[in-house]
Amino acid sequence: MLPSWARLAFAVFAVSWGANQFAPMQLVYRDELGLGSGSFTAMLGSYVLGLIPALLWFGRLADRIGRRPVIRAMIPVSVLSSIVLLLGTDVPALLYLGRILAGLASGMAFGPGTAWMKELSGGPGVGARRAAVSLSAGFGSGALFAGLLAQWLPAPGRVPYLVHIALMLVALVLVWAVPDAHRPRAVRGSWRLSAFSSRRFRWGVVPWAPWVFGCATVSFATMPPIVSDRVDGVAVAFTGVVAALTLLTGALIQPVARRITRHGEERGVRAGVGLGVLGFTCGGVAVLVDGPAAVIAVLVTAVFLGGGYGMLLVSGLVTVENLAPPEELAQTVAVFYCLIYLGFAVPFLISLAAPHIGFVACFAVAVVLLVLALVPGRVRDDQQAAALVSSR
C-alpha cells in the first residue's frame, strides 16, 4: 500500500495535470476554431479567475474544518472542468468556463494539499519539497501528454481531457481514506495572517513571487509560437514538449533547491532569479537567430526558465512553512500561491507589447524587473545586519 503522503501526492499531481493540459492546445484551437494568440492567452489566464478566490476561501476553510473534506470535494470539480473543456471544441465559449473550473479545483487542492503534505511528512522542508515536486510533475506531464495525444490521435480537442478524467477517478480512490491529522481550530474573524506582519515575507517573498509562474508561463505560452513555423507538422507536440521540459526541469531541480535553502532561503531565491535571467536572455537569442538554432534556443530557454521556476517555488514554500503557525498554514500557503499565479499575466502582457516593441525588448524588460525584485529583500537584510551591529 502506498504511504499516505504518496496517495495525497498523486491527487496533487492529477489536479496539476488538469491545470496545465490546456497549455499545448493553442495550435489545435487555432486550426480548429480560428483562435488567435490573444484569445488563447486570455483563456489560459482565465484559470486565475477561479484559482485566486478558491485559494483564499478553501485555504481558510481547510484550517477550520480539516484538509480531507476540501480535497475530497475538489475531485469532482476537477473532473467537471475537463468535461466542460471537452465540450468546448463545439462551443468555444465553454473553454473559458472550463479553465475557470480548473482554477477552482486547483485552488481547492494547492493550499490544503500542501499543508496536508507537510503534516504527513517528517523533517523540516520535506513536505514543501514533496508538494512542489508533485505539483511540477503534474504540470509538466499534463502538458507533455496532452501535446502528444493532440498531435497524433484523432479528436485532439477531446482525447487529452478524457485521460485527465481517468486520472482524477484514480485519485479519488487513493486519497479518500488518507488520515487527516490536522486538528481544526477556531479561525479568527480577521483575514490578517501572521506572515503578513513579517518583514521577511513582505520584502523577501512578495516582490519576486509572481516571477515563479512568470518564468514558467513565458516558456510554454510565449516561446513555442515564435518557432512554430520551424517545427511545422509537429508543432502541437513541440509545444507540449517545451511545457513539459520547463516544468519537469522545475521538478528535477527541487532537491537541489532544498539543499541550497538549508543554508538560507535567500540563497535559493538568488539562484532562481539568476536562472530566470539566463532564460529570458536565451529567449531573446531564440528571436534573433533562425532555423534549427532558434528551436534549440527555445529548448535551452525552457530549461533555464524551468530551473528558475522550481528554485523560486521551493524557496517560497520553505519560507512559508517556517513562518506560518499550524493553524494558519493552509491559508498562508494559499496566499503564496495567489502571489505566484499573478505571473500568469506575464505572457498576456508580452502578447500585447511585443507587436509594438518586439520580443527582445519585452524579455529585456523582464530581466530588469526580475533583478529589481531582489532589491527589497537585500535592503531588508542590510537593515537587519546594521541593526545587529549597532546592538553590539
For residue 40, give every residue at least 6 positions away whose Cβ sits within 8 Å of its Cβ, in sequence order, or none.
26, 29, 30
* 9-36: b (≥16 Cβ within 10 Å) or e: bbbbbbbbbbbbbbbbbbbbbbeeeebe
| Whole-number Å distance between alpha carbons of 2 and 173 | 12
Q: What angle do CA 349, 222, 95 make, to 5 degrees?
A: 80
Q: Are 289 and 297 in contact (CB under 8 A)?
A: yes
Q: What is the pLDDT of residue 379?
A: 52
pLDDT more than 70, % of the chain: 91
- Residue among 30, 7, 228, 198 at smallest CA distance from 116: 7
What single string gives the DSSP state of each residue in 137-165? Answer: HHHHHHHHHHHHHHHHSS-TTTHHHHHHH
Query: What is the pLDDT averaged over residues 82-87?
Result: 94
| pLDDT above 60 for 136 | yes
Query: What is the pLDDT averaged over residues 8-34?
Result: 87
Q: Are 116 and 181 in contact (CB under 8 A)?
A: no
For 61-70, 317-326, 379-388, which range has the lowest pLDDT when averaged over its residues?
379-388
| Whole-number Å distance between alpha carbons of 62 and 328 | 10
Highest mean pLDDT among 126-130, 176-180, 261-265: 176-180
- Residue among 7, 55, 125, 102 at smallest CA distance from 332: 55
Provide the mean pLDDT of the chain. 86
- Residue among 127, 186, 117, 143 at smallest CA distance from 19: 143
Q: Are 64 and 184 in contact (CB under 8 A)?
A: yes
Q: Are 305 and 276 in contact (CB under 8 A)?
A: yes
Cite the beta strand spans of the chain per DSSP E: none
Tell me the domains of the chain and their CATH numbers: 4-178+194-386 (1.20.1250.20)
Q: Are 178 and 117 in contact (CB under 8 A)?
A: no
- Please, what sign has the CA dihedral across residues 176, 255, 20, 107? positive
| pLDDT above 50 for 389 | no
pLDDT more than 90, % of the chain: 43
Helix axes 159-175, 4-20, angle to 10 degrees: 160
| Whole-number Å distance between alpha carbons of 112 and 175 | 13
Q: Within 10 Å of residue 360's Cβ, how many Cβ atoms?
A: 16
| pLDDT above 80 for 161 | yes
How far does Cα 130 stand from its chain's mean position?
14
